[in-house]
Chain A
Amino acid sequence: DIQMTQSPASLSASLGETVSIECLASEGISNDLAWYQQKSGKSPQLLIYAASRLQDGVPSRFSGSGSGTRYSLKISGMQPEDEADYFCQQSYKYPPTFGSGTKLEIK
Protein backbone atom coordinates (compact mmCIF):
# COMPACT_ATOMS: atom_id res chain seq x y z
CA ASP A 1 0.00 0.00 0.00
CA ILE A 2 1.09 3.58 -0.64
CA GLN A 3 1.73 5.41 2.62
CA MET A 4 0.82 9.09 2.82
CA THR A 5 2.81 11.05 5.41
CA GLN A 6 1.14 14.35 6.19
CA SER A 7 2.67 17.28 8.08
CA PRO A 8 2.31 19.09 10.32
CA ALA A 9 -0.19 17.27 12.52
CA SER A 10 -1.48 20.61 13.75
CA LEU A 11 -0.86 24.29 13.26
CA SER A 12 -2.38 27.58 14.19
CA ALA A 13 -2.54 30.62 11.98
CA SER A 14 -3.64 34.22 12.29
CA LEU A 15 -6.39 35.61 10.10
CA GLY A 16 -4.92 36.62 6.76
CA GLU A 17 -1.84 34.43 7.18
CA THR A 18 -0.74 32.03 4.47
CA VAL A 19 -0.43 28.40 5.56
CA SER A 20 0.92 25.27 3.92
CA ILE A 21 0.30 21.60 4.56
CA GLU A 22 2.42 18.87 3.01
CA CYS A 23 1.93 15.26 2.01
CA LEU A 24 4.69 12.83 1.14
CA ALA A 25 3.81 9.63 -0.69
CA SER A 26 5.88 6.48 -0.21
CA GLU A 27 6.16 6.17 -3.99
CA GLY A 28 5.38 8.32 -6.99
CA ILE A 29 1.66 8.95 -7.48
CA SER A 30 1.66 10.90 -10.73
CA ASN A 31 -0.36 13.84 -9.38
CA ASP A 32 -3.27 11.56 -8.39
CA LEU A 33 -3.66 13.47 -5.16
CA ALA A 34 -6.73 15.02 -3.58
CA TRP A 35 -7.18 17.31 -0.57
CA TYR A 36 -10.22 17.32 1.70
CA GLN A 37 -11.47 19.71 4.35
CA GLN A 38 -13.45 18.40 7.31
CA LYS A 39 -15.06 20.87 9.66
CA SER A 40 -15.92 19.82 13.19
CA GLY A 41 -18.80 17.35 13.24
CA LYS A 42 -19.19 17.39 9.46
CA SER A 43 -18.30 15.07 6.60
CA PRO A 44 -15.19 15.68 4.47
CA GLN A 45 -15.43 17.91 1.40
CA LEU A 46 -13.25 17.65 -1.68
CA LEU A 47 -11.17 20.80 -2.13
CA ILE A 48 -8.56 19.91 -4.73
CA TYR A 49 -8.04 17.00 -7.11
CA ALA A 50 -5.28 16.00 -9.51
CA ALA A 51 -2.89 17.78 -7.15
CA SER A 52 -3.75 21.30 -8.30
CA ARG A 53 -7.29 21.48 -9.72
CA LEU A 54 -9.84 23.32 -7.63
CA GLN A 55 -13.17 21.58 -7.07
CA ASP A 56 -16.18 23.65 -8.14
CA GLY A 57 -17.22 26.17 -5.51
CA VAL A 58 -13.95 26.11 -3.57
CA PRO A 59 -12.52 29.59 -2.86
CA SER A 60 -9.49 30.56 -4.90
CA ARG A 61 -7.41 31.13 -1.76
CA PHE A 62 -6.96 27.36 -1.74
CA SER A 63 -4.31 25.98 -4.06
CA GLY A 64 -2.43 22.74 -4.52
CA SER A 65 0.93 21.91 -6.00
CA GLY A 66 3.53 19.20 -6.20
CA SER A 67 4.70 16.28 -8.24
CA GLY A 68 6.18 12.84 -7.86
CA THR A 69 6.00 12.06 -4.16
CA ARG A 70 5.69 15.57 -2.64
CA TYR A 71 2.48 17.61 -2.60
CA SER A 72 1.22 20.62 -0.73
CA LEU A 73 -1.95 22.52 0.02
CA LYS A 74 -1.74 26.27 0.48
CA ILE A 75 -4.31 28.63 1.95
CA SER A 76 -3.49 32.20 0.96
CA GLY A 77 -5.08 34.36 3.61
CA MET A 78 -6.54 32.34 6.47
CA GLN A 79 -10.25 32.94 7.07
CA PRO A 80 -12.31 31.97 10.14
CA GLU A 81 -14.22 29.37 8.13
CA ASP A 82 -10.96 27.62 7.21
CA GLU A 83 -10.55 26.25 10.73
CA ALA A 84 -10.85 22.51 10.09
CA ASP A 85 -9.02 19.24 9.63
CA TYR A 86 -7.35 18.66 6.26
CA PHE A 87 -6.53 15.31 4.69
CA CYS A 88 -4.65 14.29 1.57
CA GLN A 89 -5.53 11.13 -0.37
CA GLN A 90 -3.86 9.28 -3.22
CA SER A 91 -5.93 7.69 -5.97
CA TYR A 92 -2.99 6.42 -8.02
CA LYS A 93 -3.21 2.84 -6.86
CA TYR A 94 -5.61 0.69 -4.85
CA PRO A 95 -6.16 0.85 -1.97
CA PRO A 96 -6.88 4.56 -1.85
CA THR A 97 -4.99 5.87 1.18
CA PHE A 98 -5.27 9.02 3.24
CA GLY A 99 -2.81 11.10 5.15
CA SER A 100 -3.24 11.23 8.93
CA GLY A 101 -4.62 14.75 8.83
CA THR A 102 -3.69 18.29 9.84
CA LYS A 103 -5.69 20.22 12.40
CA LEU A 104 -5.73 23.91 11.45
CA GLU A 105 -6.80 26.39 14.09
CA ILE A 106 -7.02 30.13 14.29
CA LYS A 107 -4.37 31.74 16.47
Chain B
Amino acid sequence: EVQLVESGGGLVQPGRSLKLSCAASGFTFSNYYMAWVRQAPKKGLEWVATISTSGSRTYYPDSVKGRFTISRDNAKSSLYLQMNSLKSEDTATYYCARQLIRGFDYWGQGVMVTVSS
Protein backbone atom coordinates (compact mmCIF):
# COMPACT_ATOMS: atom_id res chain seq x y z
CA GLU B 1 0.00 0.00 0.00
CA VAL B 2 1.39 3.38 -1.00
CA GLN B 3 1.83 5.70 1.96
CA LEU B 4 3.11 9.26 2.14
CA VAL B 5 3.49 10.78 5.59
CA GLU B 6 4.42 14.44 6.00
CA SER B 7 5.97 16.02 9.06
CA GLY B 8 7.66 19.21 10.15
CA GLY B 9 4.83 21.71 9.97
CA GLY B 10 3.99 24.30 12.59
CA LEU B 11 3.83 27.97 13.47
CA VAL B 12 6.71 30.12 12.22
CA GLN B 13 7.33 33.85 12.13
CA PRO B 14 7.52 35.75 8.84
CA GLY B 15 11.01 35.70 7.38
CA ARG B 16 12.00 32.52 9.17
CA SER B 17 12.61 29.04 7.78
CA LEU B 18 10.99 25.63 8.07
CA LYS B 19 11.75 22.22 6.60
CA LEU B 20 9.07 19.70 5.74
CA SER B 21 9.68 15.99 5.35
CA CYS B 22 7.71 13.25 3.64
CA ALA B 23 8.34 9.56 4.34
CA ALA B 24 7.29 7.30 1.48
CA SER B 25 6.56 3.57 1.56
CA GLY B 26 4.79 0.92 -0.44
CA PHE B 27 6.46 1.68 -3.78
CA THR B 28 9.94 2.08 -5.30
CA PHE B 29 10.49 5.71 -4.35
CA SER B 30 13.49 6.23 -6.62
CA ASN B 31 11.42 5.44 -9.72
CA TYR B 32 9.04 8.36 -9.36
CA TYR B 33 8.96 12.12 -9.68
CA MET B 34 7.70 13.66 -6.45
CA ALA B 35 6.03 16.97 -5.70
CA TRP B 36 4.69 19.30 -3.06
CA VAL B 37 1.25 20.86 -3.48
CA ARG B 38 -0.27 23.32 -1.03
CA GLN B 39 -3.74 24.49 -0.13
CA ALA B 40 -4.37 27.72 1.73
CA PRO B 41 -7.26 27.60 4.24
CA LYS B 42 -10.58 27.28 2.41
CA LYS B 43 -8.80 27.80 -0.92
CA GLY B 44 -7.79 25.80 -3.97
CA LEU B 45 -4.71 23.75 -4.76
CA GLU B 46 -1.37 25.25 -5.78
CA TRP B 47 1.61 23.27 -7.07
CA VAL B 48 4.77 24.22 -5.16
CA ALA B 49 7.65 22.08 -6.41
CA THR B 50 8.62 18.96 -8.34
CA ILE B 51 11.79 16.88 -8.29
CA SER B 52 12.99 14.30 -10.78
CA THR B 53 13.79 10.70 -9.87
CA SER B 54 17.49 11.33 -9.28
CA GLY B 55 17.02 14.79 -7.86
CA SER B 56 19.00 16.40 -10.66
CA ARG B 57 16.06 18.42 -11.92
CA THR B 58 13.76 20.61 -9.88
CA TYR B 59 10.84 22.84 -10.85
CA TYR B 60 9.11 25.68 -9.03
CA PRO B 61 6.43 28.27 -9.69
CA ASP B 62 7.47 31.92 -9.56
CA SER B 63 5.67 32.34 -6.23
CA VAL B 64 8.28 30.25 -4.37
CA LYS B 65 11.29 30.21 -6.71
CA GLY B 66 14.43 31.28 -4.86
CA ARG B 67 12.84 30.73 -1.43
CA PHE B 68 11.85 27.05 -1.46
CA THR B 69 14.08 24.06 -2.23
CA ILE B 70 12.82 20.56 -2.89
CA SER B 71 15.17 17.62 -2.34
CA ARG B 72 15.06 13.89 -1.86
CA ASP B 73 17.01 11.03 -0.32
CA ASN B 74 16.27 7.90 -2.31
CA ALA B 75 18.14 5.70 0.17
CA LYS B 76 15.71 6.83 2.86
CA SER B 77 12.64 7.07 0.59
CA SER B 78 12.19 10.61 1.79
CA LEU B 79 11.21 13.91 0.24
CA TYR B 80 11.94 17.32 1.69
CA LEU B 81 10.89 20.94 1.26
CA GLN B 82 13.16 23.63 2.69
CA MET B 83 11.18 26.86 2.99
CA ASN B 84 13.07 30.08 3.60
CA SER B 85 11.97 33.71 3.90
CA LEU B 86 8.47 32.60 4.71
CA LYS B 87 5.57 34.97 4.12
CA SER B 88 2.04 35.05 5.49
CA GLU B 89 0.78 33.97 2.08
CA ASP B 90 2.71 30.70 2.47
CA THR B 91 0.25 29.68 5.19
CA ALA B 92 -1.32 26.45 3.93
CA THR B 93 -1.59 22.73 4.27
CA TYR B 94 1.32 21.20 2.38
CA TYR B 95 0.83 17.86 0.66
CA CYS B 96 3.51 15.50 -0.54
CA ALA B 97 2.38 13.80 -3.75
CA ARG B 98 3.64 11.23 -6.20
CA GLN B 99 3.68 12.80 -9.64
CA LEU B 100 3.04 11.01 -12.90
CA ILE B 101 2.72 12.52 -16.37
CA ARG B 102 -1.04 12.06 -15.98
CA GLY B 103 -1.29 13.78 -12.61
CA PHE B 104 -0.71 13.34 -8.89
CA ASP B 105 -1.83 9.82 -8.11
CA TYR B 106 -1.06 9.53 -4.39
CA TRP B 107 -1.16 12.24 -1.73
CA GLY B 108 -0.12 12.40 1.88
CA GLN B 109 -2.46 13.50 4.63
CA GLY B 110 -0.94 16.98 4.63
CA VAL B 111 0.90 19.10 7.17
CA MET B 112 -0.14 22.58 8.27
CA VAL B 113 2.25 25.52 8.03
CA THR B 114 1.20 28.79 9.64
CA VAL B 115 3.29 31.90 9.06
CA SER B 116 2.40 34.55 11.59
CA SER B 117 4.02 36.83 14.12
Per the 8 Å Cβ criterion, residues 76-117 of B in contact with A are 95, 100-105, 107-110
Bound Cα distance A42, B10 (Å): 18
What are the interface flags for A29-44 relative to B under an 8 Å C-beta threshold, 1 for contact and 0 otherwise?
Answer: 0001010100000111
A96: chain B residues at CB < 8 Å are 47, 50
Tell me whether A49 and B103 are in contact in the complex, defined as CB-CB below 8 angstroms, given that A43-B108, A43-B109, A44-B95 are known contacts: yes
Bound Cα distance A43, B45 (Å): 11
Tell me whether A44 and B105 are in contact in the complex, defined as CB-CB below 8 angstroms, given that A87-B44, A98-B45, A101-B44 are known contacts: no
Tell me whether A91 and B45 are in contact in the complex, defined as CB-CB below 8 angstroms, given that A43-B95, A43-B109 are known contacts: no
Task: Kindly state whether residue A80 has any CB partner on chain B within 8 Å.
Answer: no
Q: A1 — nearest CB in chain B belongs to which residue? A: B61
Q: Is the interface of B mostly helix, strand, loop or mixed?
A: strand
**Beta-carbon contact of A49 and B102 below 8 Å:** yes
**Beta-carbon contact of A34 and B102 below 8 Å:** yes
Bound Cα distance A97, B37 (Å): 10
Q: Is the interface of A mostly helix, strand, loop or mixed?
A: loop
B95: chain A residues at CB < 8 Å are 43-44
Chain B contact residues, CB within 8 Å of chain A:
37, 44-47, 50, 59, 61, 95, 100-105, 107-110
Can you list 29 A-B contacts (CB < 8 A)?
A1-B61, A32-B101, A34-B102, A34-B104, A36-B45, A36-B104, A42-B109, A43-B95, A43-B109, A44-B37, A44-B45, A44-B95, A44-B104, A46-B104, A49-B105, A53-B102, A87-B45, A89-B103, A89-B104, A91-B102, A91-B103, A95-B59, A96-B47, A96-B50, A98-B46, A98-B47, A99-B44, A100-B44, A101-B45
